[in-house]
Amino acid sequence: MEYIAISQLNDWKNKKIKFPAITAYDFSFAKLFSNQGIPVILIGDSLGMTIQGHTSTLSVKIKDIEYHTKAVRKGAPNTFLISDLPFMSYYDTKTALKNTAKIIRSGANMIKLEGGKWLIEIIKELSNRSILVCGHIGLTPQYFHYLGGYKIQGKKQNDANKLIDEALLLEESGIKVLVIECVPEKLAEKITKCLSIPVIGIGSGKNTDGQILVMHDLLGITEGKIPSFSKNFLSESGSIQKAIQKYIHEVKTGIYPSPQYSF
């Protein structure tokens, strides 16, 4: 795979070329995904649930993200890597800068933060230091207790307007990519059109610039309830490699997510 930089993601948005992304946490899967042509990998704090066996992402620590980022980078040397800053690892600017440095040194191209208006000054300080920042709005798993569980966000007009305002504010503050999770398809489309930066959706319809899924959901190996927006690509493919090829094809052609996997 050729080296993927933020400029490539921007170029895809401008040319309306949809791109796939996936989570990964280790060398072997990172190498497999990279070899199949996945251009963007997220080292997500979802590892708290998929790897560590917790019921939420809240237990994940900076040292966990460091460890898994290093492993993924070894497996995917040319892939664009985004790493989550976990819960309470960016509660103020000083702490955010300190922990971001650890993650970037571990091999990430970009760090991801969950939240809206309160992040403005932190994002500005990171951007001033040439750190690439990814925002994350909609369903934000680190706000699990505050939101009252994993629920669709932005269904009411006031809530939708707030998400649009947050997206614009985050872009103005300096984020270079935005993840929108579990919002209605029309709202995600509107946000994507409003922003000049790439927008990656999860459970937010097919009209975002990119799509991302947790690898365990995509491969149908999640224990318990699988998110309704997630498709088991392995069941239709026969091998992990073919499942990833199918995922890439369906994202690029707009087949996935179909209305069945959207809100």
With CA atoms as reference, report the closest residue to 84 among 64, 56, 55: 64
Query: Quick count: other Cβ atoms within 10 Å of Cβ 190?
Result: 17
With CA atoms as reference, report the closest residue to 50 among 243, 213, 236: 213
Question: Which H or E run includes 50?
Answer: helix 47-50
Measured between alpha carbons, how far is 229 from 233 in angstroms, rounded to an integer? 12
For the chain, domains (ranges, CATH) are 6-261 (3.20.20.60)
Taking each helix axis as running N to C, give the angle between helix 93-105 and helix 62-75, from 0 to 180 degrees, rounded to the nearest 10: 30
Under 8 Å CB-to-CB from 199, ≥6 apart: which residues? 13, 177, 178, 179, 180, 188, 191, 192, 208, 209, 210
Helix, coil or strand: residue 132: strand
pLDDT of residue 147: 53
pLDDT of residue 148: 53
pLDDT of residue 143: 65
Question: Which H or E run includes 163?
Answer: helix 157-173
pLDDT of residue 90: 96
Measured between alpha carbons, how far is 79 from 71 in angstroms, rounded to an integer? 13
pLDDT of residue 151: 66
pLDDT per residue, tens digit, the chain (263 aa), is 899 999 999 999 999 999 999 999 999 999 999 999 999 999 999 999 999 999 889 999 999 999 999 999 999 999 999 999 999 999 999 999 999 999 999 999 999 999 999 999 999 999 999 999 999 999 887 765 555 555 678 889 999 999 999 999 999 999 999 999 999 999 999 999 999 999 999 999 999 999 999 999 999 998 777 888 999 999 989 899 999 999 999 999 999 999 888 88
Q: Is residue 210 within 8 Å of 250, Cβ to Cβ? A: no
pLDDT of residue 145: 52
pLDDT of residue 43: 98
Beta strands in 11-131 (DSSP E): 19-23, 40-43, 80-84, 110-112
66 carries an active-site annotation: no
Q: Per the residue annotation, which of 66, 114, 181, 250 is the catalytic one? A: 181
pLDDT of residue 187: 97
pLDDT of residue 20: 98
The tokens for 85 are: 């800053």
Q: Is residue 33 within 8 Å of 27, Cβ to Cβ? A: no
pLDDT of residue 225: 76
